[in-house]
Amino acid sequence: MDLFEYQGKQYFARYGIPISAGEVADTVEEAVAAAERVGYPVVVKAQVQVGGRGKAGGVKLAADRGEVELHAGNILGLDIKGHVVRRLWIEHATDIEQEYYASFTLDRAAKLHLAMVSARGGIDIEQVAEEDPGAIARRHVNPLDGLARDDARALAEEAGLDPRALDGAADVLVNLYRCYVEGDADLVEINPLVLTPDGRVHALDAKVTLDDDAAFRHPEWAELDAGGETDAREAMAKQRGLNYIGLDGTVGIIANGAGLAMSTVDVVNQVGGSPANFLDIGGGANADVMASALEVINSDQKVRAILVNIFGGIVRCDEVARGILTALDRVEISSPIVLRLDGTNAGEAREIIAGRASDQVISEATMLSAARRAVELAAAREGHAGDGPANGANGARA
C-alpha cells in the first residue's frame, strides 16, 4: 500500500523525523483556513501518488491568502500523469539551503536492507543514478545488526552532505530506519531532505510503501487505506478475502494456487490474449469463494471472457462447479465462462455443468485449449457492440 505524502509525513512524525506543520484541505476554502492556522508563507501541495508533482505544477509557494486561493484553485482538479488531484496538503514553507535524498528499501538479491543517501536531492533519483551514480552513497544494513548512529553519520558524510547537516542527517537516518523496520514498510524515501539556513535537517517530502503482508500487525492501517487510491476491483476482492491483482486485459482468470494462476496468466498471453487479472482462489475454493471470484471479475468492464482453470487436489471440482452455478444464479455474469477442470471429482463436475441448460459455460479438456477458447471468445466479443451488459454502460472497449 502506497501512502500519500501527508500520510507518510504523519507516519514519519511518529518516529521523530522532523516535518513541517501542515494540514490537509479538500477545497479552496479549507486550504485558506489551513494556511491561516499554519502561518504564511505556506506550500500548497497536490496529494497524488505519483512523483514529479513539482514539475507538473502541483507544488506552489503562497505568501498570502490570495496566493493560496489562486494555487489551491489551480491544483485541485489538476491531472498529474493521470492522477486527478482531490486533496491538498498545506504546510508552513521552509527555507532551503540544500536538498538531499535519503531512503531505505529491501535489496532482495542481497537479502539485506539498503540505505541510499545523496547530496543531489530534490530531483528524480533515477536521473541521478543514471547521470552520476557516484553521487549516491549506498550501504547494506543487516537486519540483525540494525543501523548504528555512527554508521548513519558516516554514510551521510560519504554522500557529501554539508558538515553542518551530518548530525541532523544521522538522526533522521536512524529514525527513518526504525520507521522502515518497526513500521513494516517496503520503502521509505525522503526527497528532498533539506538543510535549512539555521542548520536544521528536515523532511520536505515523504514516500512510504507499506508491506501489505504485515497489515495483520497494524490495525491502524485501516484508516490509511480509506484515504488511498485503490483499484475498485482490488478493493472489492479484498473485502471478499480473495487474492486478486487487477491487470489491463480482457480475459478474466480464476485458478486455484498461485502457481497455477500465474501459469494461466502466462498461457493466456502466449496464445495472444491479455489477462484482466490474477486471481488465486486458494485451497478452500468452495462454492461461495467461486461465486465471489466471478462477481469481482464480472465487475470489471473490460472483461470479455472468463477462464476458470482448476486442478482439484484438496479442492473438489464438483464443489467448484456448484460454485459457478451459484454465481450464475446470484448475479448476471456478462461474459462466457470457459472451464477447465481436472483432478478430484472432475467427471462429476462436468456432469453438474452439463446438467445446466446454458451455453454460457463451455468445458475444455486442457489448459491450453481452454486458454485458446477464452482468448478467441474475448477477441470476438471485443469486435461486437451490445452483446452483454459489460458492453453497455461505459462502452470502454480496448
Residues that bind ligand GDP (CB under 6 A): 43, 51-54, 59, 93-94, 96, 99, 122, 191-192, 204-205
Of 205 and 300, which has the nearer Cβ to Mn ion?
205
Site string for Mn ion, 179-208 (x = CB under 5 A): ------------x-------------x---
Of Mn ion, ligand GDP, none, which one sits near residue 43, judging by CB under 5 to 8 A according to partner kind? ligand GDP
Residues 6+ positions from 257 with CB-CB distance below 8 Å: 280, 282, 283, 311
The whole-angstrom separation of Cα 111 and Cα 51 is 27
CB of 59 to ligand GDP, least distance (A): 4
Cell (9 digits) for 329: 444464479
51 or 343: whose CB is closer to ligand GDP? 51
Cβ 221 vs Cβ 210: under 8 Å? yes
Q: Distance of CA 27 to CAs 6, 74, 256, 300, Å?
A: 16, 11, 46, 31
User: Does 335 help bind Mn ion (rule: CB under 5 A)?
Assistant: no
CB of 289 to ligand GDP, least distance (A): 40
* Binding residues for Mn ion, total number by CB under 5 A: 2
Q: How far is CA 193 from CA 37, 101, 263, 397, in A?
A: 24, 6, 43, 44
Q: Catalytic site residue 101?
A: yes
How long is the chain? 398
User: Closest separation between CB of residue 45 and ligand GDP, Å?
Assistant: 6
Q: Which of residues 43 and 324 has its CB atom nearest to Mn ion in the complex?
A: 43
| Catalytic pick among 11, 100, 101, 180 | 101
Is residue 277 within 8 A of residue 253, CB to CB? The reply is yes
Contact status, residue 236 vs residue 297, Cβ threshold 8 Å? no
Output the smallest distance, CB 84 to ligand GDP, in A. 15
**Annotated catalytic residue 189:** yes
Q: What angle do CA 122, 123, 129 make, to 5 degrees?
A: 125
324 binds, among Mn ion, ligand GDP, none (CB under 5 to 8 A by kind): none
Site residues (vs Mn ion, CB under 5 A): 191, 205
Catalytic residues: 101, 189
